[in-house]
Structure 1
Amino acid sequence: MPELLKSIQQANRSLAVLIDPEKMELDAIEAFAKAIPLTLSSLKKKLQIDQFFFFVGGSTMENTDINQWIKKLKEHTDTAVVLFPGSPEQLSENADGLLFLSLLSGRNPEFLIAHQVAAAMQLKKTHLEVIPTGYLLIDGGKETAVQRVSKTVPLSQNHIQNIVNHAYAAALMGNQLIYLEAGSGAVKSVAAEIVREVSAQINVPLIVGGGLRTIAQIEAVYNAGAKIVVVGTAIEENINWNG
């Protein structure tokens, strides 16, 4: 069994720090890598975290050399780096793994299958651990970059059964992770009730991200059944963030 996926399955709580390379210059990586361990240590104690990941990706990333960026990050950290790509152009052999995303909440064929086909042969030639991931965009109270770029509509948090149906279908299709995403800078995170209902119906690890800014919010999401919680904007705005 692949090592990253195995570690996710076996851990009780994992936390991923989402980094958009377009928002962090190459020469800022070393300082980030030196500062982030104190933040992670604090979060580990407060939330009983078993392991950490860096998720790297963005919706556009038009002006970034992703290979050089990840190579630089890997020079300064031992934390596993997992690609969270918005397009086939965001692949890099320098990472440890990749979430092979299908945007199943939308109906845009570019994000359901076209990007995946474009990336397939490139991924076949890499050492990357590729993890099929059903990606569900959930309404976080504001239009997100994912919504604009993908030209899809997020699933309403008022229709929980519809979200459950999408997640269960994603698992039946063979996805090894399910990701509920409220979007970067979301006004409201994915409700714990939704996390609870989804986790009760699937037998694969659940990732939850978007709009999580407090320890209480994150604790509620873990208690509801999330295996991985993703924090991005809070740490992006304050490297010393600790909830």
Structure 2
Amino acid sequence: MPSIQLPTQLNTTTRPPQSLLTTLHSYRLSGRKAFAVLLDPDKIGQNALSDLLISTADSPVDFFLVGGSLVSDYVHKEVIAAIRRRSHTPIILFPGNPTHIEPSADAILFLSLISGRNPEFLIGQHVIAAPLLKKSGLEVLPTGYMLVDSGTQTTVSYISGTMPLPHDKPSVAACTAMAGEMLGLKLMYLDAGSGARWPVSSAMIAAVRAAVDLPVIVGGGINSGEKAYEALKAGADMIVVGNGIEKNPDLLPELSTVVRDFNQSVVQA
């Protein structure tokens, strides 16, 4: 484990006037859906990032997530700086380990891998990260992270040494989320993982949505407007897409339009 140097001062980045956790809860209560793009610093080049950020001017997103399960070249600060130059969209860290903490972001998903039984990802790595987070000034978003079987082994399941939740067992996911809420977690994240063969099922999303009063985030395998719509209809409060946009740039405007139209239909109802 590399040594971790605490920042000498708090992050002075201008942050949203309202906490992101409050924003996400207000979205949930009003029925508004959110769209987030996950940027893996290891996978997205400077030119691709620039093109994507230009595209978001016409196809807006609500949040950028920055991070990944396995980051070999730590360039989070550079990626965040590039986003800041072109966008005022809030930036949330999606950390793979305690070294993936960058104070220039707005917030961090403090992920507890409640679908697994590896203590390192339930509390161990959190202990290592806590002093750094305390000094960083980042808004900490306690998140129940649930891996869901997507037909292939993902990087995060391999790195964490845990088995994902069975794809066809929505009741297991619902009870897991319920326990996470009782433990005090503030968000639930259902993730099929990068390169998923299929997304989290509508039945599982609906079961988790019915089980908790928390915002529900869903990612992995959402590679079409139809799949995005089905996730939103089932109860996802935020959809996250990363790998799909890298493979198909046309997916960004398609999903942005789906989320916009879904929100307009809620307002008109």
TM-score w.r.t. length of structure 2 = 0.82
Asked if structure 2 preserves the Cα contact closer than 8 Å seen for 1:36 and 1:240, the reply is: no
8 Å CA contact 2:112–2:122 kept in 1: the answer is: yes
Which residue does 1:37 correspond to in 2?
57
Contact 1:184 1:210 in 2 (8 A): yes
Contact between 2:217 and 2:240, CA under 8 Å: does it hold in 1? yes
Aligned residue for 1:29, secondary structure, equals helix
Match of 1:8 in 2: 24
Which deviates further from its counterpart, 213-222 or 27-36?
27-36
Contact kept? 1:39, 1:240, Cα under 8 Å: no
1:126 to 136, 140, 144: 136
Structure 1 residue 110: Cα displacement = 1.4
Larger radius of gyration: 2
Counterparts of 2:199 and 2:82 in 1: how far apart (Å)?
Answer: 31
Root-mean-square deviation (Å): 1.6
In structure 2, the partner of 1:20 is 40
Q: What stretches of structure 1 of length at least 5 have no aligned partner?
A: 41-50
**Residue identity matched to 1:9:** H
1:5-49, Cα deviation, whole Å (9 max, x unpaired): 111111210111111010113454333311233333xxxxxxxxx
Which 5+ residue runs of structure 2 have no aligned equivalent? Answer: 1-16, 256-269
Q: Which stretch of structure 1 is more off in the superposition, 6-15 or 202-211? A: 6-15
Query: What is the alpha-carbon distance in structure 1 between the residues aligned to residue 106 and residue 185 of structure 2?
Result: 19
Q: Structure 2 counterpart of 1:117, which letter?
A: V
Give the length in aligned residue pairs.
233
Q: 1:179 aligns with which of 189, 192, 197?
A: 189
Residue identity over aligned pairs, in percent, reads 38
Inter-partner Cα distance in structure 1 for 2:57 and 2:164: 34
Paired AA for residue 225 in structure 2: I
Q: Distance in 2 between matches of 1:192 and 1:151?
A: 26
CA–CA distance in structure 2, aligned partners of residues 35 and 201 of structure 1: 36
For residues 131-179 of structure 1, the C-alpha deviation after alignment (integer angstroms, 9 at most, x for no partner) is 1000000001111011111111101022221111111111111110000
Q: 1:188-207 to 2 correspondence within 5 Å?
A: 188-207=198-217
> Which residue in 1 is equivalent to 2:157?
147
- Is 1:103 the counterpart of 2:95? The answer is no
Q: Which moved more, 1:55-64 or 1:199-208?
A: 55-64
